[in-house]
Amino acid sequence: MSAEVNLTGQNQKQFLLLAKSAKGAVLATLIHQVLEAPGVYVFGELLGMPNARELTDTDFASTFRLLTVFTYGTYADYLAEACNLPPLTEAQKNKLRHFSVVSLAAKVKCIPYTVLLEALALRNVQQLEDLVIEAMYADVLRSSLEQNNQRLEVDYSIGRDIQRQGLSAIARTLQECCAGCEDVLSGIGEQVSLANQHKEQQLGLKQQTESEVANLKKTIKVTTTAAAASATSQDAEQHLTELREPAAGTNQCQPSKKASKGKGLQGSAKIWSKSN
């Protein structure tokens, strides 16, 4: 069986199928290929294969150890035991450096250039920025390079394989997260209860106010109607009174005028008789 397979992220499943039946040198060659293949950043399934673990008892134990470093470690881990591991190609170096940035991003989202240069064993900022841009194009990172502040701001990074001893820490973190969520839900429940009580109080106050306003309107309406009726009755009575009782000055003047006319006639008669 040939171990020369053009591996990419799209045919990783094909590689895993080949690796299940490979052994010894063939499997070691496949491992080196997948560590170099672009787009392949998950190795836990390969590391857990029984035939891969069998390499620890062969001349290819260093290849299995290299696979372990790529699965869980960083570039600094490789440098620490480079004398016991196979040499890396440039593509493998860059991929392991990508993993190193991902591991740093899992701890802090704002990473100074100085920290990155040391962790990645790079000589200058230009090399660092080229490596980060390469990782961004590979969708390993979503970040921005702040050249003025000499730091990397990470918005997103891929997840890495997890060792068994790290599962307890993850479980503890999840439990703490769940406890925090329960506290938040409890607080929200209390706030909802208080809001409902306040709503009921406001509805009761609104109903009471509306009832008082309605009663006040009824009182005003009754009072206004009674006042209008009383005023109308008084006006009618006054009008009838004026019609039934003529003015006193008019009745007294007529007899006096008749009396004065009579006196005038009598005086004239007396004067006429004397002259005759």
State the DSSP code for 60.
T
Is this prediction's pTM over 0.85?
no
Helix (H, G, I), strand (E, B) or coil at 27: helix
Per-residue pLDDT of 55-101, as tens digits, reads 998 999 999 999 999 999 999 999 999 999 999 999 999 999 999 99
* HSE-CB of 273 using CA atoms within 13 angstroms: 6
**Would you list the DSSP string of 100-113?**
HHHHHHTT-SEEEH
Q: How far apart are CA 11 and CA 141, in angstroms?
A: 22
Query: Given the structure tokens 């309605």, which residue do they identify?
Result: 214
Query: Given the structure tokens 């005003």, which residue do they identify?
Result: 220
For residues 60 and 51, the answer to whether their CB atoms sit within 8 Å is: no
Residue 36: what are its φ and ψ, rounded to 5°? -95, -20
* pLDDT mean over 146-174: 85
Mean pLDDT of the chain: 82
φ/ψ bin of 72: left (φ > 0), alpha (ψ from -120 to 50), beta (otherwise): alpha
Per-residue pLDDT of 236-261, as tens digits, reads 677 667 666 655 555 544 544 444 44
State the DSSP code for 85.
S
Residue 147 has pLDDT above 50, yes or no: yes
Q: What is the number of residues in the chain?
A: 276
Q: What do you get for the CA distance between the two ends of the chain, in Å?
A: 188
Q: What is the per-residue pLDDT for 151?
A: 94
**Tokens of residue 189, six digits:** 């429940």
**Tokens of residue 239, six digits:** 């009008």
Q: What is the per-residue pLDDT for 188?
A: 93
> Between 165 and 175, where is the model more confident?
175
